[in-house]
A = this chain, B = another copy of it.
Amino acid sequence: MTAFSDSNRVAVGQVGGPTAVINASLFGFLEEVLPRYEVYGLLDGLQGLAEGRLAPLSASTVERYRKASETPGAWLGAGRWKARTEEYVITLKERDIHRLVLIGGNGTMWSCLEIERLAEEMGYELAVLGIPKTVDNDLAETDHAPGFGSAARYVATIVRDISRDLESVRNFEAVRVLETMGRNVGWLAASSGYLKRRADDPPHLIYVPEQGLRQEEFLEAVKEVHRERGYAAVVVSEGLMPHENPLSQPLLGGVSRELAALVREELGLAARGELLGMGQRSHSLSVSLQDRREARELGREAARLMRSGTGGCMVALARISSEPYEYEIYPVPFERVAGKERTLPGEWVHSDHSIGEGFRKWLKPLVGEDLEAYPANLSEEIRR
């Protein structure tokens, strides 16, 4: 049936930053190909492929570690690595592996394309498949990517909760600038508005990279919200302005801390900048079960495509409807994904820094139907 009848070896790896559900994709794939195929796991993603560190994964090993499908982080190890594409192909060739499946984001799909092209040039038969993964949701051609739903669920709930906390201490603290992940796109920042129902509710201002931020407008908007509400909850995307890398710079922080400093200096208000941090991509109590389900399904579908001899594409989600939520999984050629970026549509985030109803409807099935906005807090009527 397959084009490579003399070898049934498969390599599978996780690449880049993990998500809370990346292991569900891996286990979905493994469950579907074992024990029929001889499977090798790339240790530490592309580094393992470059260095030939591949772990044989038997059905019994996978069964023994089954619970890992529900843990965050990458079970095989992931991370960033850059080697010449040739090194990847050489490892596969040496091991007589003709099928490669990578779970990753934008950059990973680019690597998939390069590896497949080089193998073809070298005359080495190789079928490569990609499984999408990103908390930023910047992958093109898929309605959304696994990992995003859980991150959005975390962001939507924690921003609502931290803002409610702030509201009740406004005689001491006036402004919180909360920073979400999203280096180039505002999907996660926008998700912070999901549980806002009334115009007065926090978060009061959402800034996304697609719209940018002008300091004067920002300060004016914060001032106005604070004047009206007595406090201001602001959400910004980490990719909003160039800022220092926390891994290399000792004291400078993210854009949220810089903006909080600006608010203190220019408006004289007590302001705190807070990065929502690595919990966005890992907090187990915040996982969206729908997100995990889809991650697993995409892993399974990649396995089915592989068994049918298909290569050269990423499995993607196409939404059929939002209410009721229906979708299908289909393959997209790497060419249409690699190097592309999926930005937040303009109509989903307004110029007054609130989100559109269309975005809320789109997001609902991904973060979980159980989430509800809070009732209004002790009303102004009662406060006098």
Contact = CB atoms under 8 A, between A and B. Distances in A.
Interface of A: 14, 17-18, 20, 41, 43-45, 47, 53, 55, 61, 65, 67-68, 71-81, 153-154, 157-158, 160-162, 164-173, 176, 246-248, 250-253, 257, 260-261, 264-265, 270-279, 281-286, 374-375, 377-378, 382-384
A71 B161 CA distance: 8
Given A79-B170, A172-B79, A273-B246, A165 B377 contact: no
Contacts of A65: 375, 378
Contacts of A81: 171-172
Contact of A55 (B71, B172, B273, B378): B378
Contact of A77 (B20, B168, B374): B168
7 contacts: A18-B168, A77-B168, A79-B171, A247-B270, A251-B257, A251-B261, A274-B277
Nearest to A44: B171
A265 B250 contact: yes
Contacts of A384: 53, 55
Nearest to A14: B168
A73 B274 contact: no
A158 B44 contact: no
Contacts of A378: 41, 55, 65, 68, 75-77
B18 A165 contact: yes
Contacts of A264: 247-248, 250
A261 B277 CA distance: 17
Given A161-B283, A279-B279, A79 B248 contact: no
A61 B382 contact: yes
Given A272-B246, A375-B68, A384-B53, A17 B161 contact: no
Contacts of A257: 246, 250-251, 253
A283 B157 contact: yes
A165 to B, nearest CB: 4
Contacts of A167: 73, 77
Query: Which of A165, A247, A272, A282 is packed against the most chain B CB atoms within 10 Å?
Result: A165
B74 A168 contact: yes
Nearest to A378: B75
Query: Which of A55, A279, A281 is packed against the most chain B CB atoms within 10 Å?
Result: A279
Contacts of A17: 169
What are the nearest 3 A-B pairs in CB distance?
A: A250-B261, A73-B164, A74-B168
Contacts of A75: 168, 377-378
A164 B73 CA distance: 5
A101 B260 CA distance: 36
